[in-house]
Structure 1
Amino acid sequence: MRHSIRLERACAAPPALVYDILIDVERWPEWLSGARSAGWEKSDTSGTRVGAIRRIVVSGLIMREEILVDDRPHHHAYRIVSGIPVTDHRADVHIREQAGGSLIVWRARFRSRIPLAGPLMWLLLRASMPRMAADLARGAERRAS
């Protein structure tokens, strides 16, 4: 069974700044609640982050995510490679310009690797994604001021 989550968060910072905060993984612990460390495990030096793997230690979990889309400043997409028992995961972060700043639209789809655990994984992501979007918006707004 496929699960999905979608949320929106307004931000007073422009899209380019929001995107730059999002892609600057090494500085995630400065704005992301619970992040102990973050960095690039595998990175391409050709100017795009597509195919790069980022590693984040957050709330006791070690998450590895592969970048699928790096279209600054409006679209960032990734998939969870490891860290939680999901498969067929894809998350898209769209950053749209709007009056007074931007609108962050975060959407994720996935399947559970563990039979019958899909609703639990959905609850885990449903709890963490709004916090991540709010933290991203606050981090961008602080940097903008």
Structure 2
Amino acid sequence: MPSQEVRLRKRVNAPIGSVFEFFADHERFATLFGARCRRIRVGDDDPNGLHSVRSMGPGPLAFEETIVEFEPMQRIAYQITRGSPLKNHIGIINFTDEGNSTLIDYVIRFDGKLPGVGPLIARILGMAWRHHAPKALAQIES
């Protein structure tokens, strides 16, 4: 089991369809962390769905994430598949419909390839989420 875990929970005042669509869209998803992203491979049944691949980050620092689970209105899971200082990575986002709001339970697990990298990345992810996610999600809140 990976040694690092970042758990991010947020209640969004928007219906589950809008929230899921936001998280499924690669470019919009990246704004949750203040990052840039582009889709480099379309998914099997949905452009941003199962087996789609996104490139995150600038130029030589970019890494690739592949969608490994895509259950509309329920769950998205992805793994880093290329170009990262992390290994054993999995990101899992679960969505719970609460009527006019949606509960997001997002967990990211990983190990660093070098000593000290894992804890540093965990701190950076948490800080980026706290800083950028509220502004990004405000776009879809009612």
Amino acid corresponding to residue 67 of structure 2 in structure 1: I
Whole-angstrom distance in 1 between the partners of 2:7 and 2:105:
7
2:4 is matched with 3
How many correspondences in the alignment?
A: 139
C-alpha offsets along residues 117-136 of structure 1, whole Å, 9 cap, x if unaligned? 32212212222234454345
What are the equivalent positions in structure 2 for 1:68-83 lying under 5 Å apart?
68-82=68-82
2:40 is matched with 41
1:138 is matched with 138
1:97 is matched with 97
Percent of aligned positions that are identical: 24
TM-score, length-scaled by structure 1: 0.78
Gaps of 5+ in 2: none
SS at match of 1:46: coil
Query: 1:3 touches 1:118 (CA, 8 Å); kept in 2?
Result: yes
Q: CA RMSD in A?
A: 2.6
Whole-angstrom distance in 2 between the partners of 1:63 and 1:139:
26
TM-score, length-scaled by structure 2: 0.80
Gaps of 5+ in 1: none
Amino acid corresponding to residue 42 of structure 1 in structure 2: R
Amino acid corresponding to residue 21 of structure 1 in structure 2: F
> Hey, which of these two has a bigger chunk of strand by percent?
1
SS at match of 1:140: coil
